């Protein structure tokens, strides 16, 4: 393992990668591990060890890896910084990743269509501050989607649908209503388009024990096969839990209290 001292930027990049990989991918054969190792001049094995060390800070995984060596002060501090300020730290880590690749953050985080929208706004005369805010917002939304979908193995947490273009990185607490948790992975659910919209409108609730609730309003759906297929069969079943960053129980309770239609 690489024994040279790690910089803050290097820890930031490994933490960025940690959010985007599933637990079983923390190994030196993984192509994304190899890419980051090459960028920061470390061995893939060293990066893989740091990923596992970071996972010790996750309450959902600490017992699985407690036999490993102490991760060190820097790893603990970086993990805690992210956990306490996801909105700034995740974006900052993406900016660092772009800088290491000699690219703009929007070039690595956004697809061509999003970049076209931003360039169109520039041509329409928006001032620099608005453009900077627009770029950051779109980048943040893109990162959140990548983190959440990967964390749920690109499958709907309710019905297990695994077609990426039909999946949504759904916020438990709304993006517009809770600025401090917009990028918090514990505020995210991977849902298919139908279940995302039903969750957003309160026709579906998820209790703090991760069981699915179905609003009585949906009993009025005329086509009972449709009702059973999309909703009724999931009632009182547990959602598919993610690999890490489990849905925050308090967030689910807040959504249930404020949004769910009983």
pLDDT digits (tens, 9 = 90+) for 181-236: 889 999 999 999 999 999 999 999 999 999 999 999 998 888 899 899 999 999 99
User: Are residue 125 and residue 186 in the same domain, yes or no?
Assistant: no
Q: What is the DSSP letter of 28?
A: T
- Per-residue pLDDT averaged across 83-105, rounded? 93
d(CA 188, CA 172): 6
Q: Percent of the chain scored above 90 by pLDDT? A: 61
The model's confidence at residue 127, banded by pLDDT at 50, 70 and 90, is low
| 168: helix, strand or coil | strand
User: Are residue 175 and residue 252 in the same domain, yes or no?
Assistant: yes
d(CA 214, CA 200): 13
Which region holds residue 236: left if phi is over 0, alpha if psi is between -120 and 50, else beta? left
Q: Check residues 158 and 71 and name the one with the higher pLDDT.
A: 158
* Lowest-pLDDT range of 48-62, 141-155, 156-170: 48-62
Q: Is residue 3 part of a domain?
A: no
User: Are residue 140 and residue 209 in the same domain, yes or no?
Assistant: no
User: Are residue 191 and residue 125 in the same domain, yes or no?
Assistant: no
- Per-residue pLDDT averaged across 16-39, rounded? 93
User: Are residue 147 and residue 168 in the same domain, yes or no?
Assistant: no
Do the bridges between strand 188-192 and strand 204-206 make them parallel or antiparallel, or are there none, so unpaired? unpaired
- Per-residue pLDDT averaged across 104-114, rounded? 79
For 235-256, the pLDDT digits (tens) are: 999 999 998 899 999 999 999 9
The model's confidence at residue 53, banded by pLDDT at 50, 70 and 90, is confident
* Tally of domains in the chain: 3
- Per-residue pLDDT averaged across 23-35, rounded? 92
Q: Is the pLDDT of residue 131 over 90?
A: no
Q: Is residue 136 part of a domain?
A: yes
User: Are residue 171 and residue 240 in the same domain, yes or no?
Assistant: yes
Q: Is residue 157 part of a domain?
A: no
d(CA 114, CA 54): 32
**Element spanning 171, H or E:** strand 167-171
d(CA 173, CA 152): 18
Q: Is residue 247 part of a domain?
A: yes
Q: Is the pLDDT of residue 177 over 90?
A: no
pTM: 0.86
Q: Cα angle at 256 between 254 and 257, to 5 degrees?
A: 65
Q: Is residue 113 part of a domain?
A: yes
Q: Structural domain of residue 34, as residue ranges?
A: 8-84
Strands (E), 194-255: 204-206, 212-214
Q: Is the pLDDT of residue 101 over 70?
A: yes
User: Are residue 204 and residue 120 in the same domain, yes or no?
Assistant: no
User: Are residue 175 and residue 225 in the same domain, yes or no?
Assistant: yes
**Of 181, 202, 12, which is closest to residue 95 (Cα–Cα)?**
12
pLDDT of 130 reads 66
- What six digits make up the tokens of 233? 């069969």
Q: Is residue 96 part of a domain?
A: no
User: Are residue 79 and residue 112 in the same domain, yes or no?
Assistant: no
Q: Is the pLDDT of residue 148 over 70?
A: yes
d(CA 96, CA 78): 14
User: Are residue 185 and residue 218 in the same domain, yes or no?
Assistant: yes
Q: Is residue 194 part of a domain?
A: yes
Q: Is the pLDDT of residue 67 over 50?
A: no
Q: Is residue 236 part of a domain?
A: yes
User: Are residue 146 and residue 188 in the same domain, yes or no?
Assistant: no
The model's confidence at residue 56, banded by pLDDT at 50, 70 and 90, is confident
The model's confidence at residue 175, banded by pLDDT at 50, 70 and 90, is confident
């Amino acid at each position: 393992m690489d024994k040279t001292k790690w910089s803050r930027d290097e820890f930031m990049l490994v933490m960025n990668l940690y959010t985007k990989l599933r637990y079983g991918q923390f190994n030196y054969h993984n192509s994304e591990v190899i890419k980051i190792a090459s960028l920061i001049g470390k061995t893939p094995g060293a990066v893989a060890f740091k990923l596992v060390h970071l996972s010790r800070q996750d309450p959902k995984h600490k017992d699985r890896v407690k036999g490993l060596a102490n991760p060190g002060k820097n790893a603990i501090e970086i993990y805690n910084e992210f956990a306490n300020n996801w909105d700034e730290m995740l974006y900052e880590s993406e900016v660092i990743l772009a800088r290491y690749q000699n690219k703009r953050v929007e070039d690595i985080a956004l697809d061509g269509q999003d970049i076209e929208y931003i360039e169109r706004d520039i041509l329409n005369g928006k001032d620099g501050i608005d453009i900077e805010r627009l770029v950051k917002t779109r980048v943040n939304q893109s990162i959140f989607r990548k983190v959440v979908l990967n964390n749920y193995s690109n499958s709907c947490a309710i019905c297990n649908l695994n077609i990426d273009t039909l999946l949504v990185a759904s916020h438990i607490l709304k993006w517009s209503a809770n600025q401090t948790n917009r990028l918090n992975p514990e505020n995210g659910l991977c849902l298919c388009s139908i279940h995302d919209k039903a969750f957003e409108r309160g026709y579906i609730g998820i209790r703090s024990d991760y069981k699915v609730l179905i609003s009585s309003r949906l009993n009025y759906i005329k086509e009972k096969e449709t009702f059973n297929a999309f909703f009724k069969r999931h009632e009182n079943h547990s959602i598919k839990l993610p690999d890490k960053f489990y849905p925050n129980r308090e967030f689910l309770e807040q959504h249930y209290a404020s949004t769910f239609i009983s």
